[in-house]
Amino acid sequence: MFVDILNAMKRISLLLAIVATVSTVSAQDIVVEGNLCENANLRFKYNLSNRYDSFTWNFGDGSTDNSVEPSHKYEAGTYTIKLTATKNGGESKTESKTITINAIPDIDFSYDTTEQHNALAFKADLGATHYKWSFGDDNIKDTTGNEVFHKYSAPGAYEVKLIASDNNGCADTTIHSAVVSSSSKLPNVFTPNGDGQNDYFMISANGAKLKLEIFNRWGYKMFSRTGTENIVWDGYNPQGTLVAPGTYFYVITVEEGSTDYNPLNGYITVYY
């Protein structure tokens, strides 16, 4: 009888020892560094990592890692992270931590010329709480509203960058080329009659590579030229004759091998 009791106590002690080797990691000991935004490079840490020899991270999206402090990127959504930390002696700890990854705001912007010389008015989409504008001329402006005004010191083409972020710290970056003409309001009338007054329609590229195209009311191209200085239309069509009096449509684009720009367009009236 005594032997049976002793053996039973040994079995109970053994079971308790086995159970003791598996414990739980506190969720507070799992640390996630970085903004919880889609495609952000997050870093994962375990506060008690110096007590363990091996780690298995399961990021909840089908990905795993055995690094001590791994990095991982997520798409927007909610994920449960699971960590199992193990000692060489076999003792292991495991825990889960749930995080929500926020979507990045999708923010674009456009611009218009203003009544003031070399000035542009920029307007971004709503959906962000902070807007950081870089105007391409070493000037930067931070705003909480989605509209901003900027005056350039010289005409030309400028690469404008907007970083728009929300309350979660998630940010979207958008870049467009903005064209500033020799005056912010291009003339809307010219008279190519050879009298020496208002004979030309001209834009100033100021070193940027711009393309000027002129179309008639039916969409036929009357003029096209690319340049880095002044681009001048004298009122002649591709056949070498003066165009008929009337209203024509112009398009100014940035020739940079990219489609990521905002064209400048409008109407010009020819009369004699």
Domain 2-101: which CATH class?
mainly beta
Indicate if 109-180 has the same CATH topology as 2-101. yes
Which string of DSSP letters, residue by residue, matches 72-135? Answer: E---SEEEEEEEEEE-TTS-EEEEEEEEEEBPPP---EEEEE-SSTTEEEEEEPSS-SEEEEE-
Spatial CA neighbour of 39 closest among 92, 116, 105, 117: 105
Spatial CA neighbour of 80 closest among 54, 99, 95: 99
Chain mean pLDDT for the chain:
84
Q: From CA 175, how far away is CA 163, in angstroms rounded?
A: 9
The answer to whether 34 touches 27, Cβ cutoff 8 Å, is: no
Spans of all domains in the chain: 2-101, 109-180, 189-270
Q: Is 254 exposed, middle or buried (0-12, 13-18, 19+ CB in 10 A)?
A: buried
Angle at 246 between CA 243 and CA 248, to 5 degrees: 80
Q: Residue 59 has what pLDDT?
A: 97
pTM check: above 0.75: no
Q: Residue 182 has what pLDDT?
A: 60
Q: Residue 259 has what pLDDT?
A: 45
Q: From CA 155, how far away is CA 149, in angstroms rounded?
A: 16
Domain 189-270: which CATH class?
mainly beta
Q: Residue 205 has what pLDDT?
A: 67
109-180 classified as CATH 2.60.40.10: yes
Render each residue's pLDDT in the chain as its tens digit; 272 residues. Answer: 544 544 544 444 433 333 333 334 456 789 999 999 999 999 999 998 888 999 999 999 999 999 999 999 999 999 999 999 999 878 888 989 999 999 999 999 998 877 566 788 999 999 999 999 999 999 999 999 999 999 888 777 888 999 999 999 999 999 988 888 665 567 789 999 888 888 999 887 666 778 899 999 999 999 999 987 788 999 999 999 999 999 999 998 887 544 445 677 889 999 98
Q: Residue 56 has what pLDDT?
A: 96
**Up-side HSE of residue 35: CA atoms within 13 Å toward CB?**
14
